[in-house]
């Protein structure tokens, strides 16, 4: 077996290529036909429609709760990926004095579940015997 060379990142990629491939899992694209609890999903280029009993769903795509901390730092810059915004929540005039606050151990419930028309990534396991929706997908066309 060839020696693994390079920096830490390069070695990690080489190890993943060598040992991380799993031929037992395929990633498929699909469309939600109907939302939970009567979930139905149509896999691209397949005639079969998966029913709720046929498919698992990653928790973050379901209605669920988490315990979180909410922190507000007035006038803090927030990097949002495609832009940077300032955190102005309690001063309409965007001028001092600023107030910051934090709420610890707050229960946050995520209400947004899968909807008809959502495009999703589906992992197929055990030669089509098990399926799991791993995430919504979006195209920036």
Residue 48, domain CATH? 2.40.50.140
Give the per-residue pLDDT at 2: 65
Which DSSP helix (H) or strand (E) runs through 8? helix 8-19
Say yes or no: 30 and 89 in one domain.
no
- Bridge partners for 131 per DSSP: 55, 124
What is the DSSP annotation of 54-121?
GEEE-GGGSSEEEEEEEEE-TT-EEE-SS-EEE--SS-TT--SSP--EEEEEEEEEE-----TT-EEE
Say yes or no: 73 and 104 in one domain.
yes
Say yes or no: 49 and 80 in one domain.
no
Residues near 5 by beta carbon (within 8 Å), at least 6 away in sequence = 11, 14
The total number of structural domains in the chain stands at: 2
Say yes or no: 57 and 120 in one domain.
yes
Residue 108, CB-side half-sphere exposure with 13 Å CA sphere? 12
Q: Which domain holds residue 84?
A: 65-110
What is the spatial distance between Cα 35 and Cα 52, in angstroms, rounded to a whole number?
A: 9
pLDDT along the chain (141 residues), means of 10: 68 66 78 96 92 94 96 87 82 67 95 96 85 91 78
Residue 92 lies in a domain: yes
pTM exceeds cut of 0.85: no
């Amino acid at each position: 077996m060839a020696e693994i060379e390079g920096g830490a990142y390069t070695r990690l990629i080489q190890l993943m290529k060598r040992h991380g491939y799993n031929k037992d899992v395929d990633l498929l694209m699909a469309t939600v036909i109907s939302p939970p609890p009567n979930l139905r999903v149509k896999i691209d280029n397949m005639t079969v429609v998966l029913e709720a009993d046929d498919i698992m769903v990653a928790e973050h795509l379901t209605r669920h709760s988490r315990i979180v901390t909410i922190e507000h730092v007035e006038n803090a810059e927030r990097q949002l990926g495609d832009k940077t915004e300032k955190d102005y929540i309690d001063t309409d005039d965007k001028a001092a004095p600023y107030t910051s606050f934090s709420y610890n151990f707050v229960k946050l419930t995520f209400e947004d579940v899968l909807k008809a028309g959502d495009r999703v990534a589906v992992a197929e396991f055990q030669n089509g015997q098990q399926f799991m929706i791993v995430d919504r997908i979006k195209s920036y066309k």
